[in-house]
Structure 1
Amino acid sequence: MAEKQDENTRRFLFYMGHPAHYHNFKHAISILKAKGHDVKVVARGKDVLFDLLESEDWDIVKFPARKPSMRSAWSLTVKLGIAAAIARRELSMLKIARRFEPDVMIGTDLVITHVGKLLNIPSIVVNEDDSAAIPLMAKYAFPYATAILAPNCCDQSPANAKKIGYEGNHELAYLHPDVFKEDLSELPAVFRESGNYYLLRFASLHAHHDEGRNGISDELALKIIAILEPHGRVFITSERPFAERLEPYRLPVHPAKMHQVMAHASIYIGDSQTMAAEAAVLGVPAIRFNDFVGELSYLEELEHKFQLTKGIRSNEPQKLIEMLKMWVGDKNLKQTWLDRRKAMLNQYISVTPFWVEVFEKMALKNR
């Protein structure tokens, strides 16, 4: 059982299942701790998440990563394995929540909604995907969540009545100028000496909502590099293995420095939604090449309202090639994007203070 709290403090449990969640919540956690609140972080091994947590002195419980299956994608055996992993995670989370007794549970995992419902603890799902893009989350998490914190543009049907909306997106929780300062001196000399450089990102595309989706192949990556290399260095960051001939381009920095790398890049190209949005809000010309184009409202807003990113589906590689050729020849490209970023920031809020307010109000209601 948790120790008795001071009347002015609350207990917050954050669940992180992806490196993006660390970035989403790190400033909110710092603010809550500075106010004297108790915070516990539960994290599941995924990509570089544990590496990012190394520098934090938080109270952290680590769940092991799910072992990748060698069977065909989303076979019955794979699905049963995932269901068993969720059941184990729910049991572990149940034990943690009973001991810690949080006033509110926050994250993106269905487990916090189930455990919260069972123990009568409010849960907040922090989400920026439309329900149609994450059908399992919408079906198995939203009905049990107390609230869904999401950008105004996102459709959370059939749970829109639970939605707490705001003008902004997840990426501004950690890349808004109020909390993120560009500093090239934080990066190795190769970045300071490279002049123009370009960032490529390969996502794993192994999540349940990625089934049947495609992104950048090694062959296409080589064509992209051939266009970019005459104009500057090329660096690759990847969740998936790639061909040995691409190894010389692997990004030589700790994951914690990724956003400094991105902020100073001339162009970003990738099949990751999150990193395309990150580049966009930093004012970096960004192309996302995958089959989610047209399906995610927050990226559609960044593309069509603010013109900060371009989406190209995976069956149109030549369109990607032609756009890159046009962009590298545009001397005004960077300034154009910075002007568009300024227009975006004038309409969006600084997200973290708003989130903290929502978290604290929910915790107060539980007293």
Structure 2
Amino acid sequence: MRVLFDVGHPTDVNVFRNVIKKLEEEGHSTKVTARDKENTVELLKTYGLDYEVSPHYKGMLNKALGLPRADYFVYKVAKKFSPDVFVSAGTPYAAQVSKMLGKPHIAFPNTEHAKLAIYLSKPFTDLICTPTFFKRDLGKKQTRFNSFNELTYLHPNYFTPDESIIKKLGLEKDRYVLIRFSALNSHHDLSAKGFEFKNESEVLEFIEKIEEFQRVVITSEVKIGSKFEKYKLNVPSDKWHDFLYYATMYIGEGAKTASEGAILGVPAIYVSNTRRGYLDELEEKYDMAYTIPDKNDALNKAVSLLNQDNLKGIWRSKREKMLKDKADTVEFIVDIAKKYGEK
């Protein structure tokens, strides 16, 4: 069987890399088509995946104008590779090209807010696989599974934390709080609002309050003032989850990092006026993550948690319960791919 994976974001590389590894161990052939977005190519190289890359178009207008070019790129690679099945997180390119070539496309969307991508891909998709807590009904093509997409790479079967990176970064494990500022410029972020600090003084006041408890580390997709340079760390992309695992807490505008942190047993506060089904599951069922729209309320929540004794121990116990409840997502994706690709 030959499987073409189309990835549009670094997270997609993580979601599918262990699926690809398992398929190849079973003797199947794989190929990855990718957009050159953020550190996607770096991850593809790190994990030794067979890939071809096309430009990433920024902004809604450029994305719209670039759609035919992106389709043509995937089409050229697919014609040469001759896949039996296409797999993606729900990209319109894989879906549309699969229909041109008369092959099935399986989508694994993870956020309800990716309305445009779902709209453009759904008519050409054979099966849409979403977690049970995905809050949209996508009709008869949709099937649900009881797990998180993030468990394809953060489940203990596939992830063992490497403590050595913490020492290299000059940190102590479980003794730092990660604060993340996001660009909020993806198509699913169109109405999103995060911290909304009015000035640098407000940012500094927020940081200094957290510093009363632990060291603060900042990562940012947006440019921040020179006075915050001392808080910034450059973490190697393939060590990001090791770094996140040993944080005491995550506070930020990135929903994906919030879910990854919680799934790793790190208390997570997502500062946003938007909600995600996977974060609601982590909050309502497991009390591991919190979506809070107001930065002051988020700060108060963070302080209340940091005042707790054995905070990480409590979250590790919550993580164990969550892991017992959820299915192995890698096995699920492999089985679905084989079902459709070997027809």
Structure 2 counterpart of 1:311, from 257, 268, 291: 291
Percent of residue pairs identical = 31
Counterpart residue number, 1:250 = 232
What residue in structure 2 maps to residue 356 of structure 1? Answer: 334
The superposition leaves residues 205-258 of structure 1 with CA deviations (integer Å, 9 ceiling, x where unpaired) of 111221132123464542332122233222122222222222222223211101
Question: Given the alignment, which residue of 44, 53, 59 partners 1:53?
Answer: 44
Q: Indicate if the aligned counterparts of 1:104 and 1:359 stay in contact, CA closer than 8 A.
A: yes
CA change 1:122–1:195 in 2 (3 A) is closer
Question: What is the distance in 2 between the residues matched to 1:60 and 1:236?
Answer: 32
Conserved in 2, the CA contact under 8 Å of 1:156 and 1:163?
no
Q: Which residue of 1 aligns with 2:22?
A: 31
1:134 paired with 2:114, answer: yes
Structure 1: how far apart are the matches of 2:51 and 2:36? 12
Aligned equivalents of 2:172, 2:188: Cα separation in 1:
40
Match of 2:307 in 1: 329
Aligned counterpart, 1:228: 210
Closer/same/farther in 2, CA of residues 351 and 246 from structure 1, 3 Å limit: same
| Equivalent in the alignment of 1:104 | 85
TM-score, length basis structure 1: 0.88
What is the deviation of 1:119? 1.1
Q: What is the CA distance between 1:193 and its match in structure 2?
A: 3.7
1:321 CA drift (Å): 1.7
SS in 2 for 1:215: coil
Question: Partners in 2 of 1:88 and 1:56 — Cα distance?
Answer: 27
Secondary structure in structure 2 of the residue aligned to 1:206: coil
Gaps of 5+ in 2: none
Q: Do the aligned partners of 1:13 and 1:102 also contact (CA within 8 Å) in 2?
A: yes
| Cα distance in 1, alignment partners of residues 204 and 95 from structure 2 | 43
5 Å-filtered alignment, 1:167-316, equals 167-193=146-172, 196-217=175-196, 219=200, 220-293=202-275, 296-313=276-293, 316=294
Distance verdict in 2 for CA 1:303–1:122, change over 3 Å:
same
Question: Secondary structure of 2:342's match?
Answer: helix
Per-residue deviation, 1:34: 1.4
How far the C-alpha of 1:187 sits from its partner, in A, is: 3.6
Query: SS of the residue aligned with 1:237?
Result: strand
Distance 1:199 1:22 in 2: 23
* TM-score, normalised by the number of residues in structure 2: 0.93
**Secondary structure in structure 2 of the residue aligned to 1:168:** coil
Distance in 2 (CA, whole Å) between partners of 1:264 and 1:193 is: 8
Residue 34 of structure 2 is aligned to residue 43 of structure 1: yes
8 Å contact 1:150–1:169 — kept in the other structure? Answer: no
CA distance in 2, matches of 1:288, 1:239: 16
State the AA in 1 paired with 2:269: I
**1:360 corresponds to which letter in structure 2?**
K
Q: Where do 5+ consecutive residues of structure 1 fail to align?
A: 1-9, 70-77
- 1:160 is aligned to 139
What amino acid does structure 1 have at the position aligned with 2:41? Answer: F
1:38 Cα deviation after fit: 1.0
1:11 aligns to what?
2
Assess, with a 3 A threshold, how the Cα gap between structure 1 residues 173 and 191 changes in structure 2: closer, same or farther. Answer: farther
Cα deviation digits, residues 313-348 of structure 1 (max 9, x gap):
1xx221112112212211132222122112111111
Letter in 2 for 1:362: Y
Cα distance in 2 for partners of 1:190, 1:88 equals 41
Q: Which residue of 2 aligns with 1:147?
A: 127
Partner SS state of residue 46, structure 2: coil
Give the counterpart letter for 1:107 in structure 2: S
Secondary structure, aligned partner of 2:180: strand
Q: 1:115, CA displacement in angstroms?
A: 0.8
Distance in 1, Cα, partners of 2:211 & 2:270 = 19
Distance 1:196 1:39 in 2: 41
The answer to whether the 8 A contact 1:194-1:232 is kept is no
- How far apart, in 2, do the equivalents of 1:190 and 1:136 lie? 39
Cα contact 2:39–2:237 (8 A) shared by 1: yes
Give the drift of 1:191.
4.7
CA distance in 1, matches of 2:48, 2:300: 47
Q: Which moved more, 1:356-365 or 1:182-191?
A: 182-191
Give, in whole Å, the separation in 2 of the partners of 1:181 and 1:164.
30
Residue 355 of structure 1 aligns to a residue whose secondary structure is helix
